[in-house]
Structure 1
Amino acid sequence: MSSGQSFLIVDISISAEELIKLYRGSANQVRATARDGRVVRFPARILQPFVTRSGVQGSFRIIFDGHHKFQKIERL
């Protein structure tokens, strides 16, 4: 990570059925609680590289720039 960046670690478990609802519906934001207790919302599309037939499960590091704009997501 470069200077000015920050990150949150979230544990995500979204079933395939829930993902379909996210992608088809007007609410395409995922709401998750980070391990430090902060609540974060982000576009469901950033999880696309991690989608399997069973959905998305795992721990992820979400990296933001100094203006709190999404930079990247990494599976831990």
Structure 2
Amino acid sequence: MHRYFFNAMLSAEQCYGYYRGDIRNIIVTADDGMRIQLNFRHFQRFIESNGIKGRFRLTLDQQGGFISLEKIS
């Protein structure tokens, strides 16, 4: 299992791009410098009126498959 920590900040307009079909994936940079591409649907539950802002923990299995995304602050 691999865990990655990162900060994410997306505006409400950027989030709206997902619903318009303009955005499917987001690339984040973990604290260790690793760039990770995630499907935006994993962030849907974190959308607020001003977009998405916070610190997150991503957990992947040994093969790099998605296990969970948690907002930790």
TM above 0.5, yes or no, is: yes
Q: Cα RMSD between the aligned structures?
A: 1.1
Q: Could you say which residue in structure 2 is the equivalent of 1:71?
A: 67
User: Size of the alignment, in residue pairs?
Assistant: 72
Identify which of 30, 42, 45 aligns with 2:41.
45
Give the ranges of 4+ consecutive aligned residues of structure 1 lying more than 2 Å apart after TM superposition: none
Larger CA deviation: 15-24 vs 5-14:
15-24
Amino acid in structure 2 at the alignment position of 1:67 = Q
Deviations 1:34-55 (A, max 9, x none): 1110101000010111110001
Q: Could you say which residue in structure 1 is the equivalent of 2:15?
A: 19
Note the residue ranges of structure 1 that are not aligned, 5 or more in a row: none
Deviations 1:13-62 (A, max 9, x none): 00110011133234310011111101010000101111100011000000
CA distance in 1, matches of 2:28, 2:15: 14
Relative to the length of structure 2, the TM-score reads 0.91
Kindly, what percent of the aligned residue pairs are identical?
28
